[in-house]
């Protein structure tokens, strides 16, 4: 099976740290049948529309075990885990990825520049216009 991607929405720094604690508990579990594969590529992301903050991460397999484990960990804090595949179909790619975890520490994303964010927003807007290009295309579709 291919790479599995997950999303957890958060509102506060306390919830953000609870998500990281759940990921760490998941990765510390030794029984694969309980947790699935190790979670990696942990990053913080933003969607400007709706001011949504999420933590994204993924693993190579054990999807149902991973969902079960994380949902049990996160429900204590009123959160749940969702599939990024579904999330991406509804919302598209995030507008910004300001930081990520490297060796257990949050680090600033060096690619999170104003220029890169503007290009990502333009690409996202064009994708919503069904690929229509040219003068007035974005305005025609309300962007």
Structure confidence by residue, pLDDT tens digits, 31-60: 988 988 999 888 899 888 888 999 999 898
What is the domain count for the chain? Answer: 1
DSSP state of 6: E
- Residue 118, SS3 per DSSP: helix
- Residue 133 predicted with pLDDT over 60: no
Residue 68: predicted pLDDT: 92
Note whether 29 and 40 are within 8 A (CB): no
In a domain, 68, yes or no: yes
pTM over 0.85: no
Tell me the pLDDT of the chain averaged across its residues.
83
Could you tell me if residue 117 is inside a domain? yes
Compute the distance between CA of residue 65 and CA of residue 71 in angstroms, rounded to an integer.
10
**Domain housing 56:** 4-131
Do the domain assignments include residue 116?
yes
Q: Report if residue 94 sits inside a domain.
A: yes
143, part of any domain: no
pLDDT confidence of residue 116? 76
* In-domain check, residue 98: yes
pLDDT of residue 10 exceeding 90: yes
Query: Within a domain: residue 113?
Result: yes
Sign, CA torsion 22/28/33/37: positive
142 in a structural domain: no
CATH assignment at residue 65: 3.30.70
Q: Can you give the pLDDT at residue 139? A: 61
């Amino acid at each position: 099976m291919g790479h599995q991607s997950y999303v957890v929405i958060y509102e506060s720094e306390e919830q953000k740290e609870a998500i990281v604690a759940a990921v760490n508990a998941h990765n510390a579990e030794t029984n694969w049948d309980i947790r699935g594969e190790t979670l990696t590529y942990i990053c913080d992301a933003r969607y400007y529309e709706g001011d949504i903050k999420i933590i994204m991460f993924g693993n190579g397999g054990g999807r149902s075990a991973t969902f079960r484990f994380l949902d049990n960990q996160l429900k204590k804090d009123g959160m749940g885990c969702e599939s990024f595949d579904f999330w991406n179909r509804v919302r598209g790619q995030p507008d910004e990825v300001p930081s990520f975890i490297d060796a257990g520490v949050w680090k600033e994303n060096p690619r999170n520049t104003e220029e890169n964010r503007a290009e990502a927003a333009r690409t996202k807007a064009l994708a919503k216009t069904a690929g229509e290009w040219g003068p007035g295309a974005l305005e025609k579709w309300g962007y």
